[in-house]
Structure 1
Amino acid sequence: MGPLLIDFEGTTLTKEDQTLLQNPLVAGVILFSRNFQNVEQLSELIKEIRSVSPERLLISVDHEGGRVQRFRQGFTLIPPAQSYALLNDIEQAKSLAFDAGWLLAMELIAFDIDLSYAPVLDLGHECLAIGSRSFHQDVDIAYQIASAMIDGMHSAGMKTTGKHFPGHGHVIADSHKETPVDHRNQSLIEHDMQIFSRLIADKKLDAIMPAHVIYPAFDDKPASGSNYWLKTVLRQQLHFDGVIFSDDLSMEGASVMGNYAERAKNALAAGCDLLLACNNRQGTFAILEQLESLDKQHSLRSTKAQSLLTKNKISYDDLIKTADWQNRYNNLMKLNEKWADYNANSHP
């Protein structure tokens, strides 16, 4: 399979979407809220995606919980990452994070969706792009809770994606809208990057998504397009052997890498295995044209996307009858109530 994951606009596939999904350089899709009306429609859409390609495409979604959960009606509302440690002692926080990881993964798998881009491993809550998506500002606490959520996802049969390497939490700017710059040097390595290096050493991360953030003390390119961060640090120093995703190449944070075609070329050259191209169909075409040219020079086909496919199978109706789902659902609903009370009292 090729390296590109694409998006589309509607709740069904157009002829153009179908043609793109049949391109051998397209490894799969990322779904958004605009692709979801209800669980019945989602089920039909997934079947449609599966039917158009001779290969099993990687179907993915940002489904972390909190403010980043693309499917809501008919799905369990997963609490934001910040809520686990903020509202509970550490052992209870870990237990709830395991429940959340298992439940979010199982519900997606029940609809034949392979991957949620989770967990967020950025530290602190000040960054506009991260906020409550972060487990904690303390690396030891965040590590324990993230590890528990990963265990839950793995228990369900879903691979994990740690993001945004080496750490997006310190900058205030939102990389969706601009290219943030983090001027720290050794404190970045000793603090933010530690949660990644520990989880890599634990063999818990199946994939990593680097940040569209520039760290000028180390390199003049964003981590998502940096040989230093992806090859020297991630591959050679930390010995990460999993999949490296680019974050969405249409984000403003990636614009310093050039036009869409140049962004794709630079991200691949820097060490990304799979590329996300979202929210700009013309940009997707430009990236695909670039990939077709590169593929003629040196094959871009790999088994990276297939390594992230889930093998678990369960129907949604069967899932919600299990004691595991019911108990974990009730636990998370109680945490959602506590989080709502906390916000009501904190911001009257």
Structure 2
Amino acid sequence: MSLGPVMLDIEGLRPTAAERELLCRPEVGGVILFSRNYTSPDQLQELIDELHGLRDPRLLIAVDQEGGRVQRFRDGFTRLPPVAELGRVYDEDRARALALAETTGWLMASELRAMGVDLSFAPVLDIDRRRSSVIGDRAFHRRPEAVAELAHAYQKGMQSAGMAAVGKHYPGHGGVEADSHLDLPVDERELADLELEDLLPFERLIHQGLAGIMVAHVLYPRIDADLAGFSAFWLQDYLRRQLRFQGVIFSDDLGMAAAERAGDMVARARSALNAGCDMILVCNRPREARAVVEALEGYENPASQARLIRLHGRRALTPEELRRERRWREAVAAVQGYDSEPLLDMDLE
């Protein structure tokens, strides 16, 4: 069985019988986990072992573990500062910031890989243009060159831990005020302006081996009439042909309010795949998720399947082995050292 184009979520700490049946469908290729799916490392390990045991090749397991306000697994994992803290250090000491970014990427990825998680949707490549509250301190910096440098270092850390990097939110979410979870963000800039700013980190990291990209639900009406995640221009003409990106293209969650412009959930799924997405995310909508999977029965895209299979994480240490590593202990100390709100009572044992 190959990996299908749909990534789903589950409602609780273990998949229900109905969820297990759906996850075994050939149209499904992955699972994204949220805070509601986590209580402890032991519970998470049992859940991931169960998900991995459902089929061969195993499902891709993903999470958003950026740090700051977007860190799904907390107790039992190192607290990660928002990456804007790395931007603050960058303004004071560029070399130190780049070293810390690589260390942070490695620490985040190594702790997840120890549990069997394949992907964290990171790094964020958006620019903090002081407009988007949903991005804000999730962005490394306000300058594109700084974002590109810090994100490249972070990507190197992830790769050394055995995890592929997935940059988001292409072609850039930092220039709009609206939150695409709740509303339709519209960016009125011309393509030339985006190329000088928001697109620069994506272009740089693509040339440095970026394995995946997640697309923003943002409309750029001066460039194309479709939302970026449903746009053949943005995904095929520009990303594949202009930037020569060869990795996996993920949609953002099709259940977000901004995606309503593309129709009902099945229409959104078909439009995103037809535009060029390799994998679509359908979250928090169990009935509609089933409808999408059933509607895509028989769907095949060999090129996408080949790309997706390469995203499985490489072999990792067990959690116990990882915590005996000097590199892990030094990384935890380094991350605490630049966190402006550290947890002083963290037990490294």
Name the TM-score, length of structure 1 as normaliser: 0.94
Q: CA deviation at 1:131?
A: 0.9
Deviations 1:10-36 (A, max 9, x none): 001110111011111110100000000
Partner of 2:36: 34
2:200 is aligned with what amino acid?
Q
1:57 is aligned with what amino acid?
L
Q: CA deviation at 1:313?
A: 2.1
Partner of 1:222: 227
- Aligned partners of 1:230 and 1:271 also within 8 Å: yes
Partner of 2:292: 287
Q: CA deviation at 1:299?
A: 7.4
What is the aligned-residue RMSD (CA, Å)?
1.6
Partner of 1:72: 74
Deviations 1:45-64 (A, max 9, x none): 11111122233110111111
In the alignment, the residues of structure 2 paired with residue 9 and residue 324 of structure 1 have an alpha-carbon distance, to the nearest angstrom, of: 35
Q: Give the one of 236, 239, 256 matched to 1:234.
A: 239
In the alignment, the residues of structure 2 paired with residue 149 and residue 300 of structure 1 have an alpha-carbon distance, to the nearest angstrom, of: 28
Deviations 1:85-130 (A, max 9, x none): 2144211111111111000100000001111100000001431221
1:87-102 matches, within 5 Å, as 87=89, 88-102=92-106
In the alignment, the residues of structure 1 paired with residue 172 and residue 122 of structure 2 have an alpha-carbon distance, to the nearest angstrom, of: 14
Number of residue pairs the alignment of both structures matches: 337
Partner of 1:7: 9
- Aligned partners of 1:22 and 1:54 also within 8 Å: no
In the alignment, the residues of structure 2 paired with residue 136 and residue 300 of structure 1 have an alpha-carbon distance, to the nearest angstrom, of: 35
Task: Tell me, yes or no, if structure 1 residue 324 matches structure 2 residue 327.
Answer: yes
Q: CA deviation at 1:311?
A: 1.8
Q: Secondary structure at the match of 1:246?
A: strand
In the alignment, the residues of structure 2 paired with residue 229 and residue 168 of structure 1 have an alpha-carbon distance, to the nearest angstrom, of: 14
- Aligned partners of 1:246 and 1:276 also within 8 Å: yes
Partner of 1:115: 119
In the alignment, the residues of structure 2 paired with residue 200 and residue 115 of structure 1 have an alpha-carbon distance, to the nearest angstrom, of: 17
- Aligned partners of 1:25 and 1:301 also within 8 Å: no
Task: Tell me, yes or no, if structure 1 residue 84 matches structure 2 residue 90.
Answer: no
1:1-348 matches, within 5 Å, as 1-87=3-89, 88-124=92-128, 125-185=130-190, 186-202=192-208, 204-292=209-297, 294=299, 302-336=305-339, 338-339=340-341
2:264 is aligned with what amino acid?
N
**Higher mean C-alpha deviation, range 48-57 or range 252-261:** 48-57
5+ long unaligned stretches in structure 1: 342-348
- Aligned partners of 2:110 and 2:316 also within 8 Å: no
Name the TM-score, length of structure 2 as normaliser: 0.93
5+ long unaligned stretches in structure 2: 344-349
In the alignment, the residues of structure 2 paired with residue 20 and residue 303 of structure 1 have an alpha-carbon distance, to the nearest angstrom, of: 22
Q: CA deviation at 1:301?
A: 7.1
In the alignment, the residues of structure 2 paired with residue 102 and residue 301 of structure 1 have an alpha-carbon distance, to the nearest angstrom, of: 27
2:172 is aligned with what amino acid?
G
1:69 is aligned with what amino acid?
Q
Q: Secondary structure at the match of 1:308?
A: coil
1:126 is aligned with what amino acid?
R
Q: Percent identity?
A: 43
Pair 212,47 (structure 1): closer, same or farther in 2 beyond 3 Å: same
Q: CA deviation at 1:139?
A: 0.7
Q: CA deviation at 1:303?
A: 2.5
Partner of 2:346: none
- Aligned partners of 1:130 and 1:169 also within 8 Å: yes
1:330 is aligned with what amino acid?
A
Q: CA deviation at 1:289?
A: 2.0
In the alignment, the residues of structure 1 paired with residue 276 and residue 113 of structure 2 have an alpha-carbon distance, to the nearest angstrom, of: 29
In the alignment, the residues of structure 1 paired with residue 251 and residue 193 of structure 2 have an alpha-carbon distance, to the nearest angstrom, of: 24
**Higher mean C-alpha deviation, range 114-123 or range 302-311:** 302-311
